[in-house]
Each structure stands twice: as structure tokens, then as C-alpha cells.
A and B are shown apart, each in its own frame.
Chain A
Amino acid sequence: MPDKTITIRATRFDPDKDQEPRLQSYEVPFFDESMVVLDALNHIKAHIDGSLSYRWSCRMGICGSCGMMVNGTPKLTCNAFLRDFWPRPVTVQPLNNFPVIRDLVIDMDDFMHKLKLIKPWIIRKQELPLGAGEHRQTNDQIDDFRQFSECINCMLCYSACPVYGLNNEFLGPAAIALARRYNLDSRDQGLKERLPHIADSEGIWECSFVGECSVVCPKGVDPAKAIQQTKLDTTMRFVLPYGNRE
């Protein structure tokens, strides 16, 4: 069927001209079962309307650029197949809970700031000299933090988070998961430095067990678990001396 098409409705918003975002419809050829929503956006930009703005790069689910709301659900558009929607139209909107810069492009400066706040690097009382070789770490020890290290910073979890939606002072799922990633790393001794930033930040106690963040994560990270574990750490710090690998 060479002339099968699918309707894409995409958010258009140019702050220089528009008061409000609106949806614009495009008919896109749907010629291959392997096509994803991102392919449809690329077709629009190349052949119909070059002014449609969105971010993308690797189109293999690892760079984290192309997250958008697809029919109301946060998804990586490189991994949202048209065949799952056709013949219904697909509505593509910018990720929820973020300011919109233009069209499908969100402002994620807030996350970049929060990422730095949680000190996402190995903290040690005394750095091992390079000449001493690697820290010994078993694969089982890596398994302790592995899932939290798989975060691609795609922002789907923030977009799904009801707490962040109400209060963007909340550190949020990915930042807390990444803090957890370092706190659980056998090479790291930075729990004491990170915990105040995490525990004293707003919102962590409002997080319920809803776990929308973990449901939408395209990489199998479970930020909800990280948040619950962090609450426990925070409580424990009043009862236990710091014992984290010091």
C-alpha cells in the first residue's frame, strides 16, 4: 500500500508570535512497519514544514533527546511505533511539567541545575592515586547500583511525576535516582555530602508510592524505589552513625 498515510498532530508554539500553543495536523506517508513517531516528524520537517522544532539525535533510545508526549504518554519518539497507533492519529506534544521553549522543545535547565546539586561524581576522602590501579569492585557490587546508572536523562519521569507537576522545587525522580547511583557505589564515600541536598529538598516526602516515574522509564530504572530508599536513609541518619564505607 504505497499511499498509506497517518495523521500527526504536533504542538506548534513560537513565543515570538503565539500567545498559546496549538495543534497542527500533517498527513505523513506510512510506508514501512518499522517507522516510528520520530520518522514521521523528520518527514514533516524535511518535506512539509521545515519550521517544526524538536530535539533528536541517536534514534536508538540512548541519547535521551527525543522525549515527547505521544497521545498523552511521555515516550521516546524514536521508540514509539506508528503501527501501534495507525489508523488513529498521533498527537505529539512537548513533555508535560516543563516550560516550553518552542514547539516540541522543552526547557530542561532546571534538571541540569539539580543534577549538579546532587554531586553526581565519585566522592572519596582520599583519592586513590592512578598508579595504584583500579578500585576492586565485583559485578555483584555493580549490580547494587547498576539500574540507577542506566538513566539517560530523557526527562520522561519528570513529565510523569505528579509531585514535580505541582512543585518544581522537588529534586525529582532522575536526580534522586542518580544520587542513589553514587550512594550505592562501593567506590563512593559521599553519602554524607549528598544526603542534606536530597533530604532537605522539597517534595521527597510528598512522593507517594504511585511510581509513575518507574512506569514510564524507557530504560528500566526504578526511581520510585530510589526515592523510597532515600527516605529510609534520611530517617536512618538520625538513628545510626554514618557508616557508609568510611
Chain B
Amino acid sequence: MDFESYDVLIVGGGLAGIRAAIAAVEANPRVRVGLVSKVYPMRSHTVSAEGGAAAALGPGDSYESHAFDTIKGSDYLADQDVVEAFVREAPTEIIQMEHWGCPWSRNADGSIAVRPFGGMTTWRTCFAADKSGFHMLHAVFQTSLKYPQITRHDEAFVTKLLVEDSHCVGVVALDIRTGRFDAITARSVILATGGLGRVYAFTTNGNICTGDGMALAYRAGAGLQDMEMVQFHPTGLPFTGILITEAVRGEGGYLLNNEGERFLKRYVPNKMELGPRDIISRAMITEFEEGRGFEGPHGKYMHLDVRHLGEKVIDRKLPFMRELGREFVGIDIVHDPIPVRPVQHYMMGGIDANISGETEILGLYAAGECANVGLNGGNRLGSNSLSECLVFGAAAGRAAAHHAASAKAPTANPVAAMLWDEARRVESEYLEKKGGNERIGPIREEMQREMDAGAGVFRNKDGLSRLARNLGGLRERFEKVKIDDSSRTFNTEIVAALELDFMLEVSSVMVFAALAREESRGAHARRDFPERDDKQFLKHTVAFHTNTLAPRLEYSEVHITHFQPQARSY
């Protein structure tokens, strides 16, 4: 049997995946790269990133300052050697994006402009108006089209990693258009599948952010690190969860409670609106609980006010925000305050990977939001993630190309058998299943409501324990799922079932990791353990797959180089 075969196979066509593809080819022009994505790459969720990408580019900036801000922002859970390497690479990557056509906003002299962002002590966020992710993704995707070594498999959904002798040798993918299962083999595989926000009901994440890569790696035996660390962005639009960028505050917007007060003076007096996301989200929930939020048809909210900035600044720096307000809320942000409330936004946790993206499985790499290389710790600073996709996408691409040069080619027979088994599994569990009376939609919605309720901005033991039990119940119901769609052609219900399977897997890991971390650090705020506990928990949680819903939890040391943990206040 013949299979499509590559030197480097990348799963995920967002910023990290495409950056990895180009890096692999540039590291070795003879490398053949396959790029598998469940959507056309320009649909990837990078497209929704707004505010910008951080890099110490400016004359007043320094690597040390960017590193310290990131480490303090992480509540000292970041691996400091990784952060130090990251801040050194980020400026080059920003320049590389510029050379590839990204329309970065500029200073008067034509150099790349920077804007202030939360938790950063100086202006270091490069931006393309307020559509930075959109422009970066389209620039890197369009640039990738010039490399003949890169072959795309668009709208193919990876259901399983092929592992042979503890070496990742490729994937099984469902071609969505035809319904055919294919084995795609490779000497190195990079997962760059993005986040998992869709395990929550109220999220900025697109429909495609379902934790696929994390679940794939976890089931193949890799560790998932710090999965209790979930970022809630302070400013989402009620009902839709559409992101209102932090750049709104960076450009001078105010957050106001129902008394018209800039309430952040009680929480982050030295930073105000430019405090880190975890603390501001907690401040907003606290204000809500104390009766100082506005009441709306979709729950409590605050005002984000940019009226004082004036139309000219808004149109130059925040035109997409004006468009979103006009189209999705029916307001003009030039004249009206924006209703906002905290919303799930980003997963700090992910596939345990080192500074080169290597996981514990030989030949398997991870980059971008699906990975945890140790950059973000307990709380990511806004605008570090686009830079992370570039720096660690490129690193993984180079490492994977290097590994491919010496790795042996996969052998056909075991691959054929694994493909057959996997295709049979999916067909018998979904397409050919007799009986079953559960629907995907209601199980997914219940999981999302449960996660909102039990694993939100504040957590406690009771809520998390109940959530763990309820997720177990949902898993049992999922076993009885029956799908309506029997077609082979573009069967999006099978895709939704496979995604829900992955989401139930990763949400359980999140909850058990959160239960075990009996302290409050970064975005993980336990009401029953409100203090940070460096003695017990200055360490990473690493979760491994078992035969039950509960993972096996191990802990690993945080790499500390120059910055000893201190109390974190702003």
C-alpha cells in the first residue's frame, strides 16, 4: 500500500503551522512538507487575533524588560530560559513578517510602530491596525504559496497519530470532502492545532478551536502541561463573545462600572486598564458580585469607553472595533461605550514541549496555542501569543526538518494496519452504529455550560468536583451518541462528533489538573485556596492519559534563571 509521505507533516494551518512549514523548507530546501488543516488555512483562528505581536524592538526597550514582564505576568510559572530565548527571537520574527508583506502600522519615519499592552512596562506591541492576526495569517499563508515543497491537504481532519516503536510516523486523516480515511506518513510530525476554547459556552474562540492536537498527543502518550491555566479576556461582547481587543485599553480606553468609576484603581492602581488579563477579569467579576455591574439581557457587563479618544484615533488605530460595534451591537464606539464582560480566550496549557517544540514522543513536535513550551505559565500577557506562534513555530519547523534528515522512513505494513483499525473505529462508533439515542448538540452545549459554571474565572473544590462528575456523565452519554448524517460527502456531523470526543477528553484533564492545584496562581484562582503557594506548587502540572477519565498527574520543576519569585502586584 502506498501512502502520501512527507519529511515533515504539520497538522494545523494557522500562524504557528505555516511558520513551521516555511522554516522547515528554509532550513533544508530538499525537505518535503505536508500541511494538513481541517479548514482552508486562512480560516484558522489566528485570523481573529486583533491587538498585535510583542517584541522588544524599540530603542527604549530591552530583552530583560520583556522577559521580566512575561515572567511576572505568568505568576512565575513560566520557564525562564524559554522566555529569555523567546524575547531574543521575537524582533527578528516581526521583521521577517514585515519582509513577507505584513502591513504593520508605522511610525512617521516609516519604521514599525508599537503600542502599549497589558502587563507590559513599555510600548512593545507591533500591530496592523486592530486586525493583526488577520494580516499576519494572510501574509504568511500567501507567502507559503511560493514554496513548491509545501503540499496542502485542506479540509482534512486528523483523527489519530500513528506511533510505531514510540516514534510518531504520521497521522490518520479523514478527508472531509470525500469521507475517505488516509494515512499520511512522515519522519517528523508537528502539531499546531490551536486552542480549545469551544469547551466553554462563552468564548472568543471560533468553532474550530476544539483542542484536537492536545487530545491527539495526549492519547498517543504525550503529557499535557498546566491545563488548569485558562485565560479569560476581560473584554468580550455579551451574547456573542466577540473579542474587543486589549488595544482599546492600550490606546487609552477606560473600563467603567455602573457608577461610572474606573474601578481598577482598587485592584491594579499602578497599571489601571493596562493590568494583566487575569487580575482585571477577577476585578470585573468581583465588581459584578458586589453589585457594581450593569445589568443587561445577556447578564452583567461593564462599559469600555473610548469616546474621549476621538474619531480620528479610533479610525486609525481601532477601525475593526468600530465595525464590530456597528455591525454586531448596533453602537458607534465613537459615541457610545462598549458593553463588555470576561470571556474565555486562550489556553496557557498544552502539549508538553521543550524549547525546540519536541514532545516526549520521538518525532512529534508541537507549537503555538496547542503547545506548552513554558512561555506563558499561569497567565499569558496579551500580544505574546502571536509572537509565540512565530518564534516557536519556526523553532519546531527547523527542529522537525533536522530530525527528518536522520529519522528512518515509516514501514508500510504497520501503517496499513493502523489505518484500517482507525477507519473501522470511526465508522463503527459513528457511521454504522445501531441504536444510540443521544445527540451531539445537547451534549456539547451541556459540557460548555458546565465548564462555564465550574471552571471559570474563580474555581473551588465543590464546583470542580461536581464538574468532574458531570463530565463523566457526559462521556457516558457520548458513548450512546447517534448521528443523523450517513453521507460520506462533507459530513460535518462526524467532524463535530470527533471534535466533541476530543473536547470531552481535554476538559476532563483541565478539571482534574485544576482540582489538584490547591493554590491560586495566575489565571487559576481557587476561592478555597486564595494564596499562591510556592512551597508546594511552584511547579508544572503534567497530565498523562490513563484508562479512566482522570489523568495521571505528575509535577515538574519550573526553570528559574534570573528572576526569583516575588509577590505579584501592579
What residues of chain A have their CB less than 8 Å away from a CB belonging to chain B? 14-17, 32, 34, 45-47, 49-51, 53-65, 79, 101-103, 105, 108, 112, 115-116, 119-122, 127-128, 130, 133-139, 141-142, 145-146, 149-150, 152-153, 178, 182, 185, 187-188
Contact = CB atoms under 8 A, between A and B. Distances in A.
Contact of A121 (B101, B112, B242, B324): B101
Given A46-B444, A53-B492, A34 B240 contact: yes
A16 B486 CA distance: 10
A47 B490 contact: no
Contact of A139 (B105, B143, B243, B323): B105
Nearest to A128: B99
A142 B106 contact: yes
Given A61-B328, A122-B101, 13 more contacts: A14-B487, A47-B439, A50-B483, A59-B242, A62-B320, A101-B177, A119-B145, A133-B111, A136-B109, A136-B111, A138-B106, A142-B103, A150-B131
5 contacts: A51-B486, A58-B45, A62-B134, A65-B39, A108-B40
Contacts of B420: none
B493 A45 contact: yes
A54 B109 contact: no
B484 A49 contact: yes
B151 interface: no
B124 interface: no
Nearest to B98: A134
Contact of B92 (A62, A79, A130, A135): A130
B239 A46 contact: no
Contacts of A58: 43, 45, 47-48, 206-207
Contacts of B143: 121-122
Contacts of B106: 137-139, 142
B43 A57 contact: yes
Given A47-B439, A103-B490, A112-B40, A130 B99 contact: yes
A29 B11 CA distance: 37
Contact of A50 (B111, B142, B298, B485): B485
B48 A60 contact: yes
A57 B39 contact: yes
B285 to A, nearest CB: 23
Interface residues of B, number: 67
A-B residue pairs, 8 tightest by C-beta: A46-B441, A136-B110, A51-B485, A50-B484, A57-B206, A102-B490, A120-B142, A58-B206
A57 B177 contact: no
Question: Which applies to chain A's interface (DSSP): helix, strand, loop or mixed?
Answer: loop
Interface string B230-255: 00000000011011000000000000
B532 interface: no
B43 A60 contact: no
B445 interface: yes
A185 B98 CA distance: 12
Contact of A62 (B48, B154, B439, B484): B48
Given A133-B95, A139-B105, A62 B47 contact: yes
B42 A64 contact: yes
A64 B47 CA distance: 10
B146 interface: yes
Given A46-B439, A112-B40, A142-B103, A62 B131 contact: yes
B437 interface: no
Contacts of B207: 56-59
Contacts of A60: 48, 240, 242-243, 324, 328
B523 interface: no
Contact of A138 (B108, B138, B492): B108
B240 A16 contact: no
B35 to A, nearest CB: 13
A56 B493 CA distance: 13
A198 B111 CA distance: 32
Contact of B95 (A56, A62, A130, A188): A130
B543 interface: no
Interface string B107-126: 01111100000000000000
B99 A116 contact: no
Interface in B281-332: 297-298, 316, 320, 323-324, 327-328
Contact of B96 (A130, A145, A185): A130
A49 B483 CA distance: 9
Nearest to A127: B99
B442 interface: yes
Nearest to B144: A121
B208 interface: yes
Nearest to B145: A116
Given A51-B487, A134-B98, A45 B441 contact: yes
A121 B154 contact: no
A59 B490 contact: no
B208 to A, nearest CB: 5
B442 A46 contact: yes
A83 B81 CA distance: 54
A110 to B, nearest CB: 13
Interface string B326-361: 011000000000000000000000000000000000
Given A34-B240, A47-B441, A120-B142, A54 B492 contact: yes
Contacts of A65: 39, 43
B489 interface: yes
